[in-house]
Amino acid sequence: MLASGRGVAGGGLRSESGGLKLVLLVGGVMLALAGFKIFDEWRNWDPDKAFWETHQTYLRYARENPPASIEFRRGDRSVTVADPAEITEFLDLLSHAKPIHPHHSHSVNEVSFTCLALPDIYDLGQDSSHQGEYWLEVHQPGPPKTRRVVQFTSPELTEWIRRTKIASLHE
Contacts of 154 (CB under 8 A, 6+ apart): 93, 97, 132, 134
| Closest to 160 (Cα-Cα) out of 99, 74, 95, 92 | 92
Tens of pLDDT, residue by residue, the chain (171 residues) = 555 555 555 555 455 677 788 888 888 888 888 877 776 666 666 677 888 889 999 999 999 999 999 999 999 999 999 999 999 999 999 998 888 877 777 878 899 999 999 999 999 998 888 888 998 999 877 777 888 888 889 999 999 999 999 999 977
User: What pLDDT score does 5 carry?
Assistant: 54
The pLDDT of residue 28 is 86
User: Alpha helices, DSSP H only, in the chain?
Assistant: 13-43, 49-64, 84-95, 155-163
